[in-house]
Amino acid sequence: MRRNPRKLYAERIDRVVEHIQKRVSDGSAPDLAELADVAAMSPFHFHRVYRIMTGEAVGETVRRVRLAHSVPALAQQRTIAEVAGDSGYATSQAFARAFKAAAGAFASQLRSEAAAIDTLLEVFAKTAPCRRRTFKLARYRSRVARSFSVTRDPQHRRL
């Protein structure tokens, strides 16, 4: 009996997302060919399947994972340049542009608010409606919770 292709693709996409998270935490970003190899597909077919299953391009997922990886470091009051370098961005300006595009505000404006940091994790973990959630928030939330001693006041939410 043949396996359900959607389930097979979902398992492969899950492996790819785990690989993306591992590579981003190591400080490097994977390329499309490498991710296609992890999924055991050609790059063309992988990109098509990935977009159908997640609702976004691979590059968008890599960008979101890199930004989610930066949130705990922002909560630790490290400099923006250090956070940008640890997240795999070549310059702090590139990080600032990507962060502003995704969050709607600059990292330096949001770093002091615990509620905003929690909301950022939600923003970076979102996917298109009716699509698979591409990574788990618990891993990043635990890092932020250890870094913050600020009360979580709902009136501080800006996003």
Per-residue pLDDT of 95-118, as tens digits, reads: 999 988 888 888 887 776 756 666
Q: How far apart are CA 106 and CA 100, in angstroms?
A: 5
Nearest CA among 18, 122, 138 for reference residue 67: 122
Q: Give me the residue spans of the domains in the chain.
A: 5-143
Tens-place pLDDT, residues 66-81:
888 888 888 787 888 9
Tens-place pLDDT, residues 34-55:
999 999 999 999 999 999 988 8
Contacts of 33 (CB under 8 A, 6+ apart): 43
* Average pLDDT for 129-154: 48
pTM of the model: 0.71
Would you say domain 5-143 falls under CATH 1.10.150.20? no
| pLDDT at 130 > cutoff 50 | no
